[in-house]
Structure 1
Amino acid sequence: MQRRTLIHTAVATLAAAALPVWAQGNWPTGKAITYLVPFPAGGTTDVLGRLIAQQLGTTLGTSVIIDNKGGAGGSVGSEIAARAAPDGYTMLGGTISSHAINVSLYPKIGYDPIKSFSPVTLIGTNPVVLVVNQNSPYKTLKDVVNAAKAKASSGGLSSASAGTGTSQHLALELMAYKSGVKFTHIPYKGSGPAIQDVIGGQVDMMFDTTVVAGPHIQSGKLRAIAVTSAKRLASMPDVPTVAESGVPGLQDFEVVSWQAIFVPANTPAPVIERLHKEIRTILAKPDMQEKLKNFGMEPADLTPPQIASFQKAEVDKWAQVIKAANIKPD
């Protein structure tokens, strides 16, 4: 009896001692944390990951190593993360593509965007803006919609995107779905060539992030028609939202691209709590806030349960749009 009591006491003591390790101080072992980025180096998810990883590693007392595993709109790297051990040593930079759109877009992905992960933090959101070239006759969203109706027999107005299934493409499809007006989608391999053709007048319009479109709007090469956020942007106070455009069916229109951090499902709660706390502290720093602003991102401070609810709503929303528009991957 005495021996059993000593064993139980020792186990309880060890368990109690282990919990604070996650909550404070250094990470339990000297093993490096892998921060999977499911996109190539140089993109927004990659840059944000590197900014966070550098400071997070110092805080946790261990290295945080970025590992780029791009492919299939973020699905390849996300599948790798989903299969990783839930031991506090794997993080994933997830996005609207990898964790809301792809499950409905691709016939088969090797993970469930909700069940395979636990959310840690929402880094921020990034609305898109509808733009036309400077010589376009369209000055309002009503102009765009009316012109599309008038040209319905020939496919309506053309709209570029960075690729099939991107937030730029789905913003167009959602607008078409809600307004009942058809447009011709023209996918490109990236925002760069797509927006250049809008500037050049080869394509009528395009939804794109404020990061990409902003400089061209400021230079006068593009005209901003409407933003897809619920409220007007501080950086573009004169540009109305799609919802306030007065177009029937678009009164509740909202599309935001987003960046978040996830860990594999069943990762211990103390790990998630500690990571959430430390990353929110990093993101709240003035220099990080300025960097997010330069990315055109709106701050987002949600708890992990709130992120889970937000993500589920996003999955359901885009499943409906993708099915209605019969969108297929390239």
Structure 2
Amino acid sequence: MHRRDALLLPAALLGGTIGRARAQGSRVAPPPSRFIVPYGAGNITDQVARVLAEAMVPRWGGRMVVDNQPGAGGMLGLLNLTRAPADGSTFAMISVAALAISPHLQKPARYDPFTDLSPICGVSVSSSFLCVNAALPVHSLAELVAYARARPESDPIFYYSPGNATVPHLNLENLRRSLDFPMQHVPYRTSAAGNTDLLANRVQVTIDSFSITLPHMQSGALRPLAYNAPNRHPDFPDVPTFAEAAPGVAMLNAWQALFFPRGTAAPVVEAAARDVIATIDTPAFAAKLPIGTQPFVLGPQELAAYMRADSERLGRLVADIGLQQD
């Protein structure tokens, strides 16, 4: 059974909200009432979805059901969205992995995000640090590259990720290949398990989520070498961005965005995008997001183009690595 939570307002207020919007000509259909989240409760996408659902109540009113449908890295909920009615009643928040990575692993692909979904807008993007165990005698990305090259083949540096074909895995593999230095991948089932071994120096490197690494960077157990964001982090002003430390190497940030099923009328998509962007593009929304996460303000056409660029780039990387679905 799916976990369902509801944000409720009185029916009279719901009717009044929709009635006023229709009278003003600003809404072409009632706002969505069902919100699919293809991940388990507590996942970063689920956390962002609940912040958004609460933030949309003053604008949309009414009853929005947050419907967690975890499974297959987001594929289960995404497939269920494609089968939902294209009437604007159901939308989903989906992360980049299910949109730009998973389709390249499936033979044959079970869905095409470009033809089976109608992009609404971006919502959030997460930043991350390249970190090493503090016992490793390196203090910059350049030093890490040199140190890894100098080690004997029988004694490599290990990096962890929370699983094959995850964003941390592909980021580190992209970095390793772009800068041409050796490291060996150790996939874990969870970030927590990988981070435990990183702290014990059984593995030495990661680019995992901000919330996982931040406490240990603050304690000094982990040393940050580069930041995956456009600007330096104010808490770590001496740590360069990847654009500074590795010019020309395109790193991936984990992002989340909203989608309707394919065939949803353009005016419905555009109305939802306007409402959501007006909500997320505010300091109040940003302040409630999980740590290391910022608003990701893209309209429908911008989101589609961004998704295609990430998909093409990551598809090439998946093919080069030779990854297949587990």
- Partner SS state of residue 243, structure 2: coil
**Distance 1:35-1:309 versus aligned 2 partners, 3 A rule:** same
> CA–CA distance in 1 between the matches of 2:77 and 2:238?
39
2:132 is the alignment partner of 1:102: no
> CA–CA distance in 2 between the matches of 1:74 and 1:22?
37
Instruction: Could you tell me which runs of 5 or more consecutive residues in structure 1 were left unpaired when the two chains were aligned.
Output: 1-16
Say if 1:147 and 1:156, in contact at 8 Å, map to a contact too.
no
> CA–CA distance in 1 between the matches of 2:91 and 2:23?
18
**Corresponding position of 2:301:** 305
Say if 1:26 and 1:60, in contact at 8 Å, map to a contact too.
no
Counting aligned pairs with the same residue, the percent is 29
> CA–CA distance in 2 between the matches of 1:152 and 1:173?
20
2:114 is the alignment partner of 1:114: yes
Aligned-residue CA RMSD (Å): 2.4
> CA–CA distance in 1 between the matches of 2:45 and 2:23?
29
> Could you tell me which amino acid in structure 1 is paired with residue 232 of structure 2?
R
Q: 2:316 aligns with which of 308, 320, 328?
A: 320
> CA–CA distance in 1 between the matches of 2:226 and 2:171?
12
**Corresponding position of 2:173:** 173
**Corresponding position of 2:26:** 24
Say if 1:26 and 1:62, in contact at 8 Å, map to a contact too.
no
Say if 2:255 and 2:296, in contact at 8 Å, map to a contact too.
no
**Distance 1:51-1:230 versus aligned 2 partners, 3 A rule:** closer
Deviations 1:74-114 (A, max 9, x none): 11111111121111011111111111111112334422112
- Partner SS state of residue 154, structure 1: coil
**Corresponding position of 1:129:** 129
Say if 2:28 and 2:267, in contact at 8 Å, map to a contact too.
no
Say if 2:88 and 2:264, in contact at 8 Å, map to a contact too.
yes
CA deviation after TM superposition for structure 1 residue 73, in Å = 1.2
> CA–CA distance in 1 between the matches of 2:23 and 2:164?
45
> CA–CA distance in 2 between the matches of 1:173 and 1:291?
32
> CA–CA distance in 2 between the matches of 1:25 and 1:271?
8
Q: 2:281 aligns with which of 278, 284, 305?
A: 284
**Corresponding position of 1:86:** 86
2:51 is the alignment partner of 1:54: no
**Corresponding position of 1:218:** 218
> Could you tell me which amino acid in structure 2 is paired with residue 306 of structure 1?
E
CA deviation after TM superposition for structure 1 residue 205, in Å = 0.8
Deviations 1:148-179 (A, max 9, x none): 22236237310001111111111011112212
CA deviation after TM superposition for structure 1 residue 228, in Å = 2.5
Say if 1:160 and 1:206, in contact at 8 Å, map to a contact too.
yes
> CA–CA distance in 1 between the matches of 2:228 and 2:163?
18
> CA–CA distance in 2 between the matches of 1:157 and 1:112?
37
> Could you tell me which amino acid in structure 1 is paired with residue 177 of structure 2?
Y
Structure 1 length as normaliser, TM-score?
Answer: 0.85
- Partner SS state of residue 244, structure 1: helix
> Could you tell me which amino acid in structure 2 is paired with residue 324 of structure 1?
D
Deviations 1:253-305 (A, max 9, x none): 3221111111111211221122112212222343321123x421233222211
Structure 2 length as normaliser, TM-score?
Answer: 0.86
How many residues of Structure 1 are paired with residues of Structure 2 in the alignment? 307
> CA–CA distance in 2 between the matches of 1:106 and 1:194?
26
Say if 1:230 and 1:254, in contact at 8 Å, map to a contact too.
no
Say if 1:79 and 1:109, in contact at 8 Å, map to a contact too.
no
**Corresponding position of 1:232:** 232
**Corresponding position of 1:3:** none
